[in-house]
Structure 1
Amino acid sequence: MDFNVKKIVKDAGAAISRVVQMTEEKLGTSEKTELDAHFENLWERAENTKNWTEKIVRDAEAVLIPNPGNRIEDFIYEKIDKKRPSRLSNLEYLGLDMIEAGNVYGPGTAYGSCLIKVGQWEQKLGQNERDFIGSAAMCFTQPMRKFLDTEIKTILKEKNLLEVKRLDLDACKNRVRKARSMLGQPAAERDLRIAQSEFDRQAEITKLLLEGIGSSHAAHLRCLQEFVETQARFYSQCTTIMTDLQRELAR
């Protein structure tokens, strides 16, 4: 219990020290340790990757699933680790209604017969569309979302921890500068060495993660190429289906 109380008091003191350091930096009364240009460039690339990946994923999902309600429902099912509901596409609903109307008008009539035929082909288009949505999600949007939920979240977590270590380091630097007595100076300098070591270690961890963004870009390039292949196959199949329908109707 004593250990826990001491830790709570220590953590509270460290939190207050960071707030004071941040406030003094904003007021311009305290110096701030700056990261090197290479690190800043890596961080800028990571931020750009995060922001643009989020936008591209949102746009792609809006294309694949135009209904925002369905997108929200799918997101919820994904979060609770449940299977997404199987839905007919709008084209399939259109096809079903055409077939039903054709049967009402009479399959023996020209209009009824044509409605049934077109409805069957609309169902084929709809199934093709559903297959495309599933394939595109698997090869493109899902890997992108996984990247955002894992790698990016890890980078942000480590970058935030680096900022904490940086505040601790600069607070120690200020204490060393403000130390008056010979008794206080050695303790402050010892704390500074520890803080510097922890900061350097965290900076290296964060930098290694940031450098990994290059490999992520290579993986995203493969995802993009697979998405294009899937999309091209989808439109080619749609063209084939519609050409077959035109040939059927011409008879």
Structure 2
Amino acid sequence: MDFNLKKIVKDAGAAVSRVVQLTEEKLGTSGKTELDAHFENLWDRAENTKNFTEKIVKNAEAVLIPNPGNRIEDFIYEKIEKKKPSRLSNLEYLGLDMIEAGSVYGPGTAYGSALIKVGQWEQKLGQNERDFIGSAGMCFTQPMRKFLDTEIKTILKEKSVLETKRLDLDSCKNRVRKARSMLGQPSKDGVTPEFLLEQAERDLRIAQSEFDRQTEITKLLLEGISSAHAQQLRCLHEFVDTQARYYSQCTTIMTELQRELASSAKPGPVLRLNSEDLEPASNDKNASTSPSAFIPISITGDDTNYSVL
């Protein structure tokens, strides 16, 4: 391999200077170049966006896939770029067990028939749930996670570069101040203080130029957060629409199931008096004490005909 020794030495020296500068800042013995208020506001907004987006994505995925083991499994498959495993929902497993139980009890029995019917509709609910999870992932959690993995990572990377440039700039400023304080002193090792000052000022101009350029690059990325918020707003609307459609479909399924069960239910016993059908007495507690709850009956004639008084 072709090693550039000068570059290695220069990079090592720059790294040492940054460490020294950062240490002096912590100790309060060195100044620090501050960014303007507009930049700081942009950075605060970006940090808040990052933190809250991470929380929202995490909680949304927990709602869509409650099983943490399944979430971890899906995450691993995404990282290795393989298709996620197809798994049934809990409702579908419940439906399968109900259908199996109903078949064992006997489809001809009331309970067995009802179990089979409910199991089939639970499977429909489960399939509807899986469709919702897939749709919500595509329109909401996946775009939000992509934003974190691309735009936010780029911003953090450029902000880190900016911090490095800032340390280099402040280190050069300290060198200039030190060189100026040495003016008028005798040369050391054949190097005059004037030459050291000239070299330090040249390095400062270069550091200042690189710092300003990196500040503008980072600021442009931070200003892009507004566009990201607009995109996330659209994702949020799509998520709400998907969620509303899902619950509407669930309501429709359950309403139809109730109707199916009601239509297959057998009617209760009916009291017949004088060729008239009477409903069974009410189960209400007050019915037993109400005079209308008692039906007087008289017995007349030899043929024992009953009539209501």
TM-score by length of structure 1 reads: 0.99
| 2:80 aligned residue | 80
Answer 1 or 2: which has greater helix percent: 1
Query: Per-residue CA shift, 1:211-245, capped at 9, x if unaligned?
Result: 00000000000000000000000000000000000
Query: Per-residue CA shift, 1:181-213, capped at 9, x if unaligned?
Result: 111111000000000000000000000000000
Q: Counterpart of 1:166 in structure 2: which amino acid? A: R
Q: Of 191, 195, 218, which residue of structure 1 is paired with 2:203?
A: 191
Return the alpha-carbon distance in structure 2 between the equivalents of residues 234 and 246 of structure 1: 19
Query: Per-residue CA shift, 1:117-167, capped at 9, x if unaligned?
Result: 000000000000000000000000000000000000000000000000000
Match of 1:183, SS? helix
Aligned length: 251
| 1:151 aligned residue | 151
Question: Is residue 2:265 matched to residue 1:239?
Answer: no
| 1:91 aligned residue | 91
Q: Which ranges of 4 or more aligned residues in structure 1 deviate by more than 3 Å?
A: none
- Within a 5 Å distance, the mapping from 1:99-138 to structure 2 comes to 99-138=99-138
Q: Counterpart of 2:206 in structure 1: which amino acid? A: I
Q: Determine which structure has more spread, i.e. the larger CA radius of gyration.
A: 2
Bigger relative CO (Cα 8 Å, ≥ 6 apart)? 1
Cα displacement (A) at 1:2: 7.2
Q: Unaligned stretches of 5+ in structure 2?
A: 183-192, 264-309
| 2:69 aligned residue | 69
Return the alpha-carbon distance in structure 1 between the equivalents of residues 109 and 2 of structure 2: 90
Match of 1:83, SS? coil
In percent, how many aligned pairs have the same letter? 86
| 1:172 aligned residue | 172
Return the alpha-carbon distance in structure 2 between the equivalents of residues 14 and 3 of structure 1: 18
Cα displacement (A) at 1:3: 5.3
Return the alpha-carbon distance in structure 2 between the equivalents of residues 8 and 131 of structure 1: 56
Question: Is residue 2:50 matched to residue 1:50?
Answer: yes
Q: Counterpart of 2:142 in structure 1: which amino acid? A: Q
Return the alpha-carbon distance in structure 1 between the equivalents of residues 195 and 107 of structure 2: 102
Answer 1 or 2: which has greater strand percent: 2
- Within a 5 Å distance, the mapping from 1:10-49 to structure 2 comes to 10-49=10-49
